[in-house]
Structure 1
Amino acid sequence: MVGNYEYPHIDTLNIIQVGWNIQPSLYGDNKTHFLIGWSTDGYSSTGCFDLKCDGFVLAKHAPITPGDTLKGKSKMSFKIFKSKDNGDWWLHFAHAGQKFAPVGYWPQSLFNSLKFYSNYVSWGGYTTSYGEKRSPPMGNGHWPGPDSAAFQDMQYVNEDETTYRPGPVPGLQSWVTNKECYKVSDFMIDHFSYGGPGGCTN
């Protein structure tokens, strides 16, 4: 997630999200799908996921389309950056071993504060369950470790579109809402692992 807002005013949240999602209510199946999203008010009344509203502009010959099934691919790379030429927010994508290719962009005109810069970046996962249903696994269902889901080779993108590793950055912190079902490892310069079996009802 890349965003701009002043805590705790969620109604001012300008946000871009990219990742993968299993959500039968959205896709009608239990497969893993490529997901994007955007909003200018914390999804209160603006924005959407994938291409369900106007906003994201799909590039010609994009390597993947938002909402596509990932078809068993276990490693993928994303790059989100603000174009120094016109201020649009671009998304590039690559499967493991392939070169980045443009998926499309969110026009600068969509946003308020994010039109100028981002003051918030987040990597991670989340799950949802309703009523008394137990929460689903996160990642691949393993606790953080060598065999769990992970974010790797994480980098920030400068204004000139060069990249650098986060390293020990002030303000960089982990956040877990329920440690009985999910955990996250320490941040290791440019990677961390995360996940858990789920099973929570609160």
Structure 2
Amino acid sequence: TSSRIAPGQVISPLSRINGNKSYITLRIFKEQSSGDWQIHVGANSGHPKPVGYFPKSLIIGLIDKPVEISFGGYVKHRKSRPSPPMGSGYVFETGRAASFGILKLIDAQGIDHNIVADLPSSTDGKGCYTPSKIKWAQFFYGGPSCAD
């Protein structure tokens, strides 16, 4: 429903390790009146605005059941061997890795709760881009180039 953001779009301006940081806010929630899953996005402290939705008709089997939401990423370059870096190119132990922060769950009453417990994660199995555990409602991810 929005022409200002689309799947796969590059966030601009990019964050810089020792410079300005860019932020996005993602809100995904089930609208109680329609049962549709709404997606709102905001950039750099802007209030999240609606950009699209998943109609309840697409997810009939989940209408009244718990829902799992997954976030992920991948890196790919057709001429790159080894594979290119992910995020900032730093692993989470350095304190300079890319991150997701202020993770919250919005319940059926619209009340948000910080996610402070660790959640399941997975990697490519090569150990190239391993995420950190969730701590203080945030986690770090990414890493340098990795041999295939």
1:151 aligns with 2:77: no
Corresponding pairs, count: 138
Partner of 1:190: 137
Q: Give CA-to-partner distance per residue, 1:152-190, whole Å, 9 cap, x none.
A: 000112112221112226xx23323222x2222221030
The match for 2:121 among 174, 184, 187 is 174
Name the TM-score, length of structure 2 as normaliser.
0.77
User: Over the residues paired in the alignment, what is the CA RMSD in angstroms?
Assistant: 2.6
Letter in 1 for 2:64: F
Counterparts of 1:19-58 in structure 2, within 5 Å, are 58=1
Asked whether the equivalents of residues 125 and 139 of structure 1 are also in contact (C-alpha less than 8 Å), the reply is no
Distance 2:80 2:6 in 1: 31
SS of equivalent residue, structure 1 residue 167: coil
Unaligned runs of 5+ in 2: 15-21
TM-score if structure 1 supplies the norm length? 0.59
Match of 2:37 in 1: 89
Q: Secondary structure at the match of 2:62?
A: helix
Structure 1: unaligned runs, 5 residues or longer: 1-57
Aligned residue among 12, 15, 26 for 1:71:
12
Structure 2 partner of 1:137: 85
Residues 104 and 112 in structure 2, CA contact (< 8 A), matched pair in contact too = yes
Separation (CA, whole Å) in 1 of partners of 2:96 and 2:108: 35
Q: Which has more strand, going by share of residues?
A: 1
Distance 2:10 2:76 in 1: 20
Q: Secondary structure at the match of 2:73?
A: coil
**TM superposition outliers: structure 1 runs of 4+ over 6 Å:** 129-132
Q: Secondary structure at the match of 2:57?
A: helix
Q: Report the AA paired with residue 164 of structure 1.
A: H
String of CA shifts for 1:75-128, please: whole Å, max 9, x gaps: 111000110111101011111221111112111112232333443233443335
